[in-house]
């Protein structure tokens, strides 16, 4: 069996890779477990030195890696370069903070000494998506390595070049052999990976359907999982918002990675008093974005990652229009053998339409009108998803109150687009998953939080 990477800009084949057999996967997991027996004994200082070196390697190869992403999954190169810089930053962040995050915590009890210690658990299996093919991996890998764990990666089948580049950079940075390995495999081989007794935990970023399968399999084996799944983030625009800021931020968030991001804004819930003006501003800003060759620095919106994904997105748009939505921008598939889909705006979106109920994984904005703040919050929360959200208002106290206590999501931002940050825990609720990545909490997801009691 083979895996073939295809350029979504023109449909041409880039390269074909040999898929691993089940036996080869088992051997590689065994190698990584053997490496872990030494890696967990390696000093924290040495582990962090290697993370600093890995950050240097990422920075030095930034342009090359951005081009690889552009070719394999269509990310505009200027966004790809930023993604690589963020990967370097997360390596540096955990190298800087691991000692504090893993420090024993003294607890006063009736013992002569009692404390919490954070110990590595072993091999973590990462099942990762194509949309941020480096960042999604490094935000699990950096804290896992710093904590003394090792990792194996089952990456999306359309980005094998990115997957292998990560393993190559680990070697270039000087990490011991097999501390991290890429497993070129199909989705049908994932169950056997999870079943392998040497795999101690699983982290998945992907679709809700994949999350259900992984949670069921890992749960049946009592293995820890962290799931970051889909999202239909709602951005609430109140009547006292700075509409220029709101429209600019909403446009940028909706078009990040050509709209293919779990935490991209998807539903724009605007109070009726400013809905018409906001819609006109967003129409202007979405229309001004440049769709084209992702290798061109001027490109804002590249192709969708695969033809089938583009076609699914268009079908969701068509069903929404058939149900009563108005398409005021885009909504048409360009000619040619490519996966492009233009920036699109749907208005008059209501519950029951795909644009309201489902995740639209592409550059399609759904504008929803609410009569007031209360209805806007109700509409924002009327979703199976709960990954992120945002509120736009010039009353900061009002915005913070809504963000902190009323929007049902793992993250809520005020007057800013939702983004992940190495310093802040990231994850969702409801059908958007469970567990957290990043920050101190993210590091503690995959360690043994052990109580030690000395009489």
Catalytic residue from among 72, 167, 228, 437: 228
Which band of pLDDT confidence, cut at 50, 70 and 90, is reported for residue 126?
very high
pLDDT in tens, 145-155: 999 999 999 99
Q: Which CATH class is domain 233-421?
A: alpha beta
Catalytic residue from among 87, 262, 327, 412: 262
Instruction: Kindly state the percentage of the chain with pLDDT values over 90.
Output: 100
pLDDT in tens, 65-81: 999 999 999 999 999 99
Look at the domain 2-229+432-454 and name its fold: Aldehyde Dehydrogenase; Chain A, domain 1 (3.40.605)
Q: What is the mean pLDDT of the chain?
A: 98
* pLDDT value of residue 234: 98
Domain boundaries in the chain? Answer: 2-229+432-454, 233-421
pLDDT in tens, 361-382: 999 999 999 999 999 999 999 9
400 is catalytic: no
Which band of pLDDT confidence, cut at 50, 70 and 90, is reported for residue 10?
very high
437 is catalytic: no
* pLDDT value of residue 95: 98
Mean pLDDT of 427-443: 98
* pLDDT value of residue 360: 98
* pLDDT value of residue 448: 98
Which band of pLDDT confidence, cut at 50, 70 and 90, is reported for residue 58?
very high
pLDDT in tens, 219-243: 999 999 999 999 999 999 999 999 9
Which band of pLDDT confidence, cut at 50, 70 and 90, is reported for residue 272?
very high
Q: Kindly report the three-state secondary structure assignment for every residue of the chain.
A: CEEEEECCCCCCEEEEEECCCHHHHHHHHHHHHHHHHHHCCCCHHHHHHHHHHHHHHHHHCHHHHHHHHHHHHCCCHHHHHHHHHHHHHHHHHHHHHHHHHCCCEECCCCCCEEEEEEEECCEEEEECCCCCCCHHHHHHHHHHHHCCCEEEEECCCCCHHHHHHHHHHHHHHCCCCCCEEECCCCHHHHHHHHHCCCEEEEEEECCHHHHHHHHHHHHHCCCEEEEECCCCEEEEECCCCCHHHHHHHHHHHHHHHHHCCCCCEEEEEEEHHHHHHHHHHHHHHHHCCCECCCCCCCCCECCCCCHHHHHHHHHHHHHHHHCCCEEEECCCCCCCCCCCCCCEEEECCCCCCHHHHCCCCCCEEEEEEECCHHHHHHHHHCCCEECEEEEECCCHHHHHHHHHHCCCCCEEEECCCCCCCCCCCECCEECCEECCECHHHHHHCCEEEEEEEEC
């Amino acid at each position: 069996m083979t895996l073939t990477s295809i350029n979504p800009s023109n449909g041409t084949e880039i390269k074909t890779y040999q898929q691993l057999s089940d036996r080869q996967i088992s051997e590689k997991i065994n190698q990584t477990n053997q490496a872990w027996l030494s890696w967990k004994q390696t000093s924290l200082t040495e582990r962090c030195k290697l993370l600093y070196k890995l950050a240097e390697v990422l920075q030095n190869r930034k342009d090359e890696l951005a081009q690889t992403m552009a070719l394999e999954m269509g990310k505009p190169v200027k966004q790809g370069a930023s993604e690589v810089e963020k990967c370097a930053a997360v390596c540096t962040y955990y190298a800087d903070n691991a000692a504090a995050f893993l420090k024993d915590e003294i607890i006063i009890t009736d013992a002569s000494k009692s404390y919490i210690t954070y110990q590595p658990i072993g091999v973590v299996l990462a099942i990762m998506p194509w949309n941020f093919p480096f960042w999604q991996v490094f935000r699990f890998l950096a804290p896992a390595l710093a904590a003394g764990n090792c990792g194996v990666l089952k990456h999306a089948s359309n980005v094998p070049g990115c997957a292998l580049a990560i393993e190559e950079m680990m070697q270039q940075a000087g990490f011991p052999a097999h501390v991290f390995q890429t497993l070129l495999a199909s989705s049908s081989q994932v169950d056997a990976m999870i079943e392998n007794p040497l795999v101690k935990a699983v982290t998945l970023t992907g679709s809700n359907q994949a999350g259900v399968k992984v949670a069921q399999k890992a749960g049946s084996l009592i293995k820890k999982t962290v799931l970051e799944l889909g999202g239909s983030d709602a951005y609430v625009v109140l009547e006292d918002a700075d509409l220029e800021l709101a429209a600019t931020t909403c446009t940028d968030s909706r078009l990040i990675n050509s709209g293919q991001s779990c935490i991209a804004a998807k539903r724009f819930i605007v109070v009726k008093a400013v809905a018409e003006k906001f819609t006109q501003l967003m129409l202007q800003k979405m229309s001004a974005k440049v769709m084209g060759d992702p290798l061109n620095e001027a490109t804002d919106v590249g192709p969708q990652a695969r033809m089938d994904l583009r076609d699914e997105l268009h079908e969701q748009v068509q069903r929404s229009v058939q149900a009563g939505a108005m398409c005021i921008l885009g909504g048409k598939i360009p000619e040619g053998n490519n996966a492009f889909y233009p920036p699109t705006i749907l208005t008059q979106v209501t519950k029951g339409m795909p644009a309201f109920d489902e995740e639209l994984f592409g550059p399609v904005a759904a504008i929803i009108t609410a009569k007031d703040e209360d209805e806007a919050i109700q509409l924002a929360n009327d979703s199976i998803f709960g990954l992120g959200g945002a509120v736009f208002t010039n009353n900061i106290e009002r915005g913070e109150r809504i963000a902190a206590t009323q929007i049902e999501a793992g993250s809520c931002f005020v007057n800013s687009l939702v983004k992940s940050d190495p310093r802040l825990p990231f994850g969702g609720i409801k059908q958007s998953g469970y567990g957290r990545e990043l920050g101190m909490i993210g590091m503690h997801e995959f360690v043994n939080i052990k109580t030690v009691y000395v009489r």
